[in-house]
Amino acid sequence: MAEQTFSWAYSLVDSSQVSTFLISILLIVYGSFRSLNMDLENQDKDKDGNVMSQGTFNANASNNTVCCVPGIQTIDSTQALFLPIGASVSLLVMFFFFDSVQVVFTICTAVLATIAFAFLLLPMCQYLTRPCSPQNKISFGCCGRFTAAELLSFSLSVMLVLIWVLTGHWLLMDALAMGLCVAMIAFVRLPSLKVSCLLLSGLLIYDVFWVFFSAYIFSSNVMVKVATQPADNPLDVLSRKLHLGPNVGRDVPRLSLPGKLVFPSSSGSHFSMLGIGDIVMPGLLLCFVLRYDNYKKQANGEVPGTPNTPGRMNKVSYFHCTLIGYFVGLLTATVASRIHRAAQPALLYLVPFTLLPLLTMAYLKGDLRRMWSEPFHSKAGSSRFLEV
């Protein structure tokens, strides 16, 4: 009886749950540091081009160079408010018209996953090609110029996507989903705590509504159905359209799209599933606080009037505080799903456990007002940047 009562506790040490916890946290940490490194590399380039005669440069470089990074998308307040609405419309389109758009959606997803996974592989390919190949870019005409590492990472990514299309293996789908998570965390920016709160609060309402209340309106759990519905394999569709015969392209499996991470249990009886939105959206918040932690280190000499706070509080970074909150929130969501034996909106637990400790810590440190509106806006005058 006791074993049945606390079965949810035993399920927490299942291999599928442990894998979900570890991979999601590693993706957030890795994506956040990739994002920070992109900013620092462009900051160094800006510094080399704008060094003053006195050996100092404008402190606004930390903020301005972010806009100069190719492909960076910064979310403003309006976009944060309308993103949950746009996500709801997309969810309804997928729910009602999935059979009509599934092939186009699968192809678009495969293209995006190819680019994202190439971005994920790029540091490894740069390390492998550095000893044997110069970093000069090779011209491909109107397609652009690419280094050997970029070509290698893209080739490997294309190969992995093709194998996924042919086999539909869950491990390859997870690899593509990981690439999407890292790329989205690295290339999307939250400019302030205000925008972060607007975005995450809106997505919390979106997640709760479509998981808990959509069944009362649409007679089905819209979120779960869209997330778990497999799509027709494009090869199978192409074979039928071209009438290539019953044995050509007909034995390929249906594809579960890489919009989630799935991990099988040790017994193989079930899968643990976590949507990439439950990784990316809190990951954007962690990316923001990591950038702010780094900004404070660089601008230490500019803020002499910081309120006195306990020494231990100063030693804890916002990034570590929010990361611990994410872990506790994910643990709470897992326990809730096991107790209720039903799908849970993970953001219902992740958003409060990340935002509330962050807001509390920012208030105690005296940074709340600055983080809320203009966290990276430097005061008048120049300051000296410190090495990180």
- Of 209, 235, 234, 233, which Cα lies nearest the Cα of 223? 209
Please give the positions annotated as active site.
Answer: 207, 278
Query: Distance (Å, rounded) from C-alpha 65 to C-alpha 294?
Result: 14
Phi first, then psi, for residue 385 (nearest 5°) are -85, 140
8 Å CB contact between 274 and 24: yes
Residue 255: Cβ within 10 Å count: 22
- Of 208, 207, 200, 204, which Cα lies nearest the Cα of 322? 200
Three-state secondary-structure class, residue 50: coil
8 Å CB contact between 217 and 210: no
Degrees to nearest 5, angle at CA 323 with 181 and 307: 130
Query: Distance (Å, rounded) from C-alpha 209 to C-alpha 345?
Result: 9
